[in-house]
């Protein structure tokens, strides 16, 4: 075991997969010699050269479509959007081509492609650099969506993503990039569709996504001082979504809160609540509650920005409300 | 405009071009009738009048080369080697169709012969083909990728982003613009200040030519050089094939108000099939009886395809969730 940052762990995963398979290549803006805006590819250009670390013009739709075509004939592209917000220029290609070609070809084509990019509110990034988008992506049949919160998960899930024959979105919250954690020396992969119980508890279950896992853990530490015991679940992949782990936890605690920085309407939390209600109604001692980012474009000024996302204090309040039900 | 007054093709090669164009024409006519009778539940855009382009280009390709096509893709599919049976069955929605009934006319896939898809969206074929070419270059193969698209695609961002990337990275790709002068009912002249698409493409720094798209020998010769360049690692080529669709935009759609009957008639008289037929006869390359025999064989093949499609089973609704994901 070593302690690595989230970014270093993903870079290790990418490097190992590029060494393992010559069909893996990266495309994006500034991912060549510059090493990526977030350091996703530092040092790789020197090793793998320009065909496999392909700097592009500013053509998000273009390289999204291009990499989709590349994946159809044996290439394994990793598309690096830098900020995931720029994905929107390529959304038509993703929904109409990338996600649908396996099905429309009756399974004779595969789509081994990874899209990665930074998501999330923070650092006064303002509205064009703060989007999350995972509910939109998880709504589309044919896509896989991964939102890791720790270096360990990030490495194991990115390796699985690169080896997958399905299109995978690997979304990295800008606040988790510097998070440190233990990562094994030996190779490992983490399968999709397996949520992680990141903290065990008995009074209530909290499902948290991405950076909100860390914010929730902080509030749990505070609540523990009052003897409140919270179980925290990180779904890790939004599509497929492991509701079995959530149901098992709710069976034990009888209470469920979903903490998600992204908007509430038509959200992952809405989906979880519907599924847990349908299958675990008898285990619930209280209504399922949600706490979400405010339903607004993301503002710039630090006090405004802080007002649109859940934080350890607001999460702790929501947990106390849930326990009072 | 590039032309091919004399050809280096053998008689058997010329005859196979002729057979392919007749096969496309007869299949389209059969499909049009099937559409009228209600046997095709969805859309059907025919390639009648434009057969020389798919035929001339694909005759230069190997089975492991790939093409990306459009909403008007039946000709491309047949030219790349899809059988009339498998294609017709797909339009009929049957399990024996190339996409097992998942796609219909605008979603024909047959990767075994290099047909990587017709498309319901105008534009993406350019990007997808450029991407396949990227992989071919990355993996060090000499395979070639082809994008077919209409004049309607060339004001779209996919055209500009795709052609530029193909050019800057010297990718083994052919950009084949089928300029039939209308996008649905919109004349190209009304959406472009320049007459030739090739002029725009040239601005991206790749060899770009205007070709008579109703002359299969001209198309064949231009594509041969483009394929040679691509295989040799010399990069992409752009061919603007001037042509005309002589049926309505899609079957069952009105075909009036935006073009004159005289214009349609004039282009019918410039049929690429007639042109090659007359050439073969006047140059004494094939006797009339031989051409008639080819036509009869194709007629029988297409009748058989229609029978096959009509008698094929529907797909099983229990399979409707299959292949959303690879595993
Ligand atoms: C992105 C997109 N916009 C609109 C349409 C609707 N549409 C289908 S075919 C067509 C005209 C295409 O014209 P062109 O590319 O010249 O091809 P042609 O039909 O002439 O062969 C249009 C507008 C579409 N399929 N995709
Ligand atoms: Mg047109």
Task: Write out pLDDT tens, residues B86-133.
Answer: 999 999 999 999 999 999 999 999 999 999 999 999 999 999 999 999
Closest CA to A84 of A172, A163, A3: A172
For residues A273-291, give the mean pLDDT. Answer: 98
Same domain, A169 and A215: no
Same domain, A200 and A168: no
Same domain, A55 and A97: yes
* Per-residue pLDDT at B169 exceeds 60: yes
Does residue A319 lie in a domain region?
Answer: yes
Total domain count for chain A? 2
Same domain, A146 and A247: no
Same domain, A209 and A176: no
Same domain, A179 and A221: no
Query: Can you tell me which residue has the tokens 């077919």?
Result: B148
- Which contacts of A225-228 are long-range, i.e. CB under 8 A and separated by 24 or more positions? A228/A203, A228/A204, A228/A319, A228/A320, A228/A323
Same domain, A112 and A227: no
* Per-residue pLDDT at B1 exceeds 80: no
- Identify the pLDDT of residue B12: 96
* Per-residue pLDDT at B45 exceeds 70: yes
CB atoms within 10 A of CB A268: 25
Active site positions of A, annotated: 129
Is A22–B121 a contact, with Cβ atoms under 8 angstroms apart? no
- Residue of B46, B71, B185, B241 best suited for mutating to test ligand 1, as the one with most atoms within 8 Å of CB: B71
pLDDT band at B5 (very low <50, low <70, confident <90, very high): low
End position of a domain, from candidates A156, A183, A210: A183
- Identify the pLDDT of residue B327: 83
Task: Write out pLDDT tens, residues A136-174.
Answer: 999 999 999 999 999 999 999 999 999 999 999 999 999
Q: Which residues of chain B lie closer than 8 angstroms to A103, CB-CB?
A: 102, 323-324
* Per-residue pLDDT at B197 exceeds 90: yes
- CA–CA distance from B110 to each of A301, B67, B282 (Å)? 54, 10, 38
User: Mean pLDDT across chain A, nearest whole number?
Assistant: 98
Same domain, A178 and A201: no
Q: Which domain holds residue A133?
A: 2-183
Is A52–B138 a contact, with Cβ atoms under 8 angstroms apart? yes
d(CA A8, CA B160): 36
- Identify the pLDDT of residue A236: 98
Task: Write out pLDDT tens, residues B224-264.
Answer: 999 999 999 999 999 999 999 999 999 999 999 999 999 99
Interface check B16 vs A, CB under 8 A: no
Whole-number percent of chain B with pLDDT over 70: 98
Interface check B168 vs A, CB under 8 A: yes
User: Which structure tokens are listed for A253?
Assistant: 């605690």
Ligand 1: nearest atom to the Cα of B183: 13
- Identify the pLDDT of residue B7: 79
Q: Which residues of chain B lie closer than 8 angstroms to A75, CB-CB?
A: 131, 134-135, 138-139
User: Mean pLDDT across chain B, nearest whole number?
Assistant: 97
Does residue A190 lie in a domain region?
Answer: no
Same domain, A216 and A127: no
Which B residues in the span 24-83 are in contact with A, Cβ-Cβ below 8 Å? 66, 68
Is A70–B134 a contact, with Cβ atoms under 8 angstroms apart? yes
- Identify the pLDDT of residue A50: 98
Same domain, A19 and A122: yes
Task: Write out pLDDT tens, residues A227-281.
Answer: 999 999 999 999 999 999 999 999 999 999 999 999 999 999 999 999 999 999 9
Query: Could you tell me which residues are beta bridge partners of residue A234?
Result: A196
Is A68–B100 a contact, with Cβ atoms under 8 angstroms apart? no
Is B145–A92 a contact, with Cβ atoms under 8 angstroms apart? no
d(CA A214, CA A219): 9
pLDDT band at A313 (very low <50, low <70, confident <90, very high): very high
Q: What topology is assigned to B11-309 in CATH?
A: Rossmann fold (3.40.50)
ipTM at complex level = 0.96
pLDDT band at B269 (very low <50, low <70, confident <90, very high): very high
Extents of the domains making up chain B: 11-309
Here the CATH number for the domain that contains residue A174 is 3.40.50.970
d(CA B246, CA B71): 16
End position of a domain, from candidates A155, A183, A211: A183
Distance, in angstroms, between B291 CA and closest chain A CA?
36
Distance, in angstroms, between B326 CA and closest chain A CA?
6
* Per-residue pLDDT at B266 exceeds 80: yes
Ligand nearest to the CA of B47: 1
Q: Which residues of chain A lie closer than 8 angstroms to B112, CB-CB?
A: 108
Interface check B134 vs A, CB under 8 A: yes
Query: Nearest CB to A69: which of B129, B137, B169?
Result: B129
Same domain, A201 and A116: no
Query: Nearest CB to A59: which of B102, B124, B165?
Result: B165
Residue nearest to atom 17 of ligand 1 (CA): B150
Same domain, A86 and A219: no
d(CA B186, CA A240): 44
> Is B147:B99 a contact under the CB 8 Å cutoff?
no
For residues A189-210, give the mean pLDDT. Answer: 98
Closest CA to A253 of A228, A219, A236: A228
Residue nearest to atom 8 of ligand 1 (CA): B122
Which B residues in the span 97-116 are in contact with A, Cβ-Cβ below 8 Å? 99-100, 102-103, 107, 109-112, 116
d(CA A262, CA A131): 8
Q: Which residues of chain B lie closer than 8 angstroms to A62, CB-CB?
A: 127, 157-158, 161-162, 164-165
């Amino acid at each position: 075991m070593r302690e690595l940052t989230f970014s270093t762990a993903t870079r290790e995963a990418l490097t190992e997969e590029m060494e393992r398979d010559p069909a893996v290549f990266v495309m994006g803006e500034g991912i060549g010699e510059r090493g990526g805006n977030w350091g996703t590819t530092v040092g790789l250009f020197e090793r793998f050269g320009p065909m496999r670390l392909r700097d592009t013009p500013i053509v998000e739709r273009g390289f999204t479509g291009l990499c989709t075509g590349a994946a159809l004939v044996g290439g394994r592209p990793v598309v690096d959007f830098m900020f995931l917000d720029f994905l929107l220029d390529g959304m038509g290609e993703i929904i109409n081509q990338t996600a649908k070609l396996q099905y429309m070809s009756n399974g004779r084509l595969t789509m081994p492609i990874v899209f990665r990019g930074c998501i999330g509110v923070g650092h006064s990034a303002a509205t064009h650099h703060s989007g999350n988008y995972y509910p939109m992506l998880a709504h589309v049949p044919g896509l896989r969506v991964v939102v890791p919160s720790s270096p360990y998960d990030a490495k194991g899930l990115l390796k699985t993503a690169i080896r997958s024959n399905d299109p995978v979105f690997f979304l990295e919250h800008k606040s988790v990039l510097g998070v440190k954690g233990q990562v094994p020396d030996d190779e490992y992969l983490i399968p999709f569709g397996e949520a992680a119980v990141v903290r065990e508890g008995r009074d209530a279950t909290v499902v948290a996504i991405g950076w909100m896992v860390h914010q929730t853990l902080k509030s749990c530490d505070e609540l523990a001082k009052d003897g409140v015991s919270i179980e925290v679940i990180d779904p890790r992949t939004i599509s497929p979504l492991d509701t079995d782990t959530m149901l098992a936890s709710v069976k034990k605690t009888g209470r469920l809160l979903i903490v998600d920085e992204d908007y509430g309407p038509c959200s992952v939390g809405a989906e979880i609540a519907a599924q847990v209600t349908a299958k675990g109604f008898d285990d619930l001692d209280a209504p399922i509650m949600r706490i979400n980012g405010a339903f607004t474009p993301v503002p710039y000024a630090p006090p405004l920005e802080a007002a649109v996302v859940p934080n350890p204090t607001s999460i702790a309040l929501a947990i106390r409300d849930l326990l009072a039900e | 405009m590039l032309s091919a007054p004399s050809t280096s093709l053998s008689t058997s090669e010329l005859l196979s071009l002729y057979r392919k164009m007749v096969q496309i024409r007869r299949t389209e006519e059969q499909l049009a009738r099937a559409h009228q009778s209600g046997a095709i539940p969805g859309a059907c855009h025919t390639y009648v009048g434009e057969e020389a382009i798919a035929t001339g280009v694909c005759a230069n390709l190997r089975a492991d080369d790939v093409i990306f096509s459009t909403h008007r893709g039946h000709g491309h599919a047949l030219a790349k080697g899809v059988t009339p049976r498998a294609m017709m069955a797909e339009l009929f929605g049957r399990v024996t169709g190339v996409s097992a009934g998942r796609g219909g006319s605008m979603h024909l896939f047959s990767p075994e012969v290099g047909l990587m898809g017709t498309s319901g969206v105008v534009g993406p074929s350019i990007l997808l083909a450029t991407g396949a070419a990227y992989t071919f270059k990355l993996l060090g193969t000499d395979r070639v990728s082809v994008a077919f698209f209409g004049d309607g695609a060339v004001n779209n961002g996919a055209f500009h982003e795709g052609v530029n990337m193909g050019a800057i990275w010297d990718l083994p790709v052919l950009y084949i613009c089928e300029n039939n002068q209308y996008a649905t009912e919109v004349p190209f002249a009304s959406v472009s200040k320049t007459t030739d698409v090739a002029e725009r493409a040239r601005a991206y720094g790749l060899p770009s030519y205007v070709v008579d798209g109703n002359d299969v020998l001209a198309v064949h010769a231009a594509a041969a050089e483009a394929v040679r360049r691509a295989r040799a690692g010399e990069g992409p080529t752009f061919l603007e094939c001037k042509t005309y669709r002589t049926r309505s935009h899609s079957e069952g759609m009105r075909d009036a108000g935006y073009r004159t009957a005289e214009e349609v008639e004039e282009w019918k008289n410039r049929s690429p099939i007639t042109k090659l037929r007359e050439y073969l006869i006047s140059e004494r390359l094939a006797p009339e009886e031989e051409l008639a025999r080819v036509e009869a064989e194709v007629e029988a093949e297409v009748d058989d395809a229609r029978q096959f499609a009509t008698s094929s089973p529907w797909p099983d609704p229990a399979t409707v969730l299959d292949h959303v994901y690879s595993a």
